[in-house]
Structure 1
């Protein structure tokens, strides 16, 4: 898809700048959901049953598997529609070694940037 769509519309043209048959470029802003939770695409995994889940850290720093429902993709992030709370600590790196029930320690903010992302609105 090119993102192009043929439409017919009516526009106020009091200055006569638009003539019949002219082409115009229109940008339409999509609706925004300020409460949307977005997570990096690589954080969402699909089980053998096809259901989506993410690995999160609980309050004690233990890895837990959390079932989620995904909506649309926005750039490289999934919109999580169900199953994840704001500010959940989502693992986005080292997923092959992360096993639910394992205690994880985040050493520094820079290290955490590569291995865990906070679900954001």
Structure 2
């Protein structure tokens, strides 16, 4: 069972998840949404909890946008790499045009060619087929 961080400004809690303000927000209203059941990464979250957990993320995303008078939002999660806390958490960040946040925080590149893209797609499909 996940423990609420000391001094956290909790904005939501039910039997599935809780959400609290990030103590170093990108913008005011930046939330962290955390499942009550411990899982380090999304692949570790029990399948029966994925839907209910993301229903809470969806609910909270709308509340953040409306509550912060934001035009939209950025919803993100790290798994292992760049994950500062070893517990699954989703960032919900209010966004507005020209707010200074530029797309993704990491460099993007194209596939070398269609062959490389096809090979990567085959590799992922093979893992799906293995279950």
Report if TM-score (shorter chain) is over 0.5.
Answer: no
Q: TM-score, normalised by structure 1?
A: 0.22
When Rg is computed on C-alpha atoms for both structures, the one with the higher figure is: 1
Q: Compare the two structures and name the one with the higher strand fraction.
A: 1
Q: Which has the higher contact order (CA 8 A, sep 6+)?
A: 1
